[in-house]
Amino acid sequence: MSELDKLDALTHLAGAVAHELNNIFTAVNGNLSLLEMAFEDAGTNTQIVNDVLRTTRRGLELSEKLQAFAGQQKLSRALVDLNDVTRSTIAELKQSVLKGLEVEVTLENRSCLASTDEKKLRQVIEELARNAAAAMDPGGWIIFATGRYSPADAEAGTLPGGEYAYISVRDCGHGMSPAVTQRALDPLFSTRRGHHGWGLARCAGFVRQCGGKMILNSVEGRGTEATVYLPLSPENRATSAAVA
């Protein structure tokens, strides 16, 4: 079985499990919420219900993570320009995640419209920025870029035919070995002790659900580049975009 077949089987399994977990925990959470209201003046009973509610909500969060990995999230799709989203998201992150780092942003000089969920796309950019920042020593640099791409341009065979808009995040961090890079999108794998790899796995699942793909290129000791490819919308027009 190829790695692609294994991933496909895993995502189908994750989706099925997530669906069942969501049904179970939604029912339990609803009933416990009713109990919480009934017991709100009962002291100890309220504490017991609260403890069970917290556990149930953790189960719902796990279900949401599995659904994201399996590409089964509820999306609010709209035409989104990757230039605009990248510019505004980075402006916000400079006050937090990117503080103290050298940041370069290069935007495509044409529109990069894609049908996607803007809020979740912003979360993907933030997750990639967090991972890049965590992989670097203080004072490092990150380059964000957007563009248009055809599989005929390079990396033939890695993407289905068609035109794509992309966002790339490149850092000068510690990089990853080929073995680690291959597993970096695995939801149960992380190089950080006490963490699971849900962040990147959820991002990759979201991108797949939008018909795109996330590709990681990394060289140990030299840094990593994560690129999100989304199908380019036919509504694209040749418009100008600033280069920051």
Q: For residue range 36-90, list pLDDT tens digits in order.
A: 666 665 555 666 667 767 777 776 666 666 666 655 567 788 999 999 999 999 9
- Cα 89 from Cα 99, distance rounded (Å): 13
- Cα 188 from Cα 168, distance rounded (Å): 24
- Cα 48 from Cα 26, distance rounded (Å): 18
The distance in angstroms from the start CA to the end CA of the chain is: 45
Structure letter (DSSP) for residue 236: -
Candidate from 3-12, 130-139, 183-192 with smallest mean pLDDT: 3-12
| Residue 233 token pair | 């919308």
Percent residues over pLDDT 70 in the chain: 63
**Res. 21: pLDDT tops 70:** no
Candidate from 2-11, 49-58, 93-102 with smallest mean pLDDT: 2-11
Q: pTM of the predicted model, to two decimals?
A: 0.70
What pLDDT score does 66 carry?
64
What pLDDT score does 47 carry?
66
What pLDDT score does 184 carry?
80
**Res. 24: pLDDT tops 50:** yes
- Cα 92 from Cα 37, distance rounded (Å): 39
What pLDDT score does 216 carry?
93
Place 241 in a pLDDT band, splitting at 50, 70 and 90.
Answer: very low
- Cα 204 from Cα 189, distance rounded (Å): 14
What pLDDT score does 54 carry?
73
- Each residue of 180-198: pLDDT tens digit? 888 787 766 666 554 445 6
What pLDDT score does 225 carry?
96
**Res. 100: pLDDT tops 50:** yes
What pLDDT score does 123 carry?
92
Could you tell me if 216 and 171 are in contact, meaning their C-beta atoms sit under 8 angstroms apart?
Answer: no
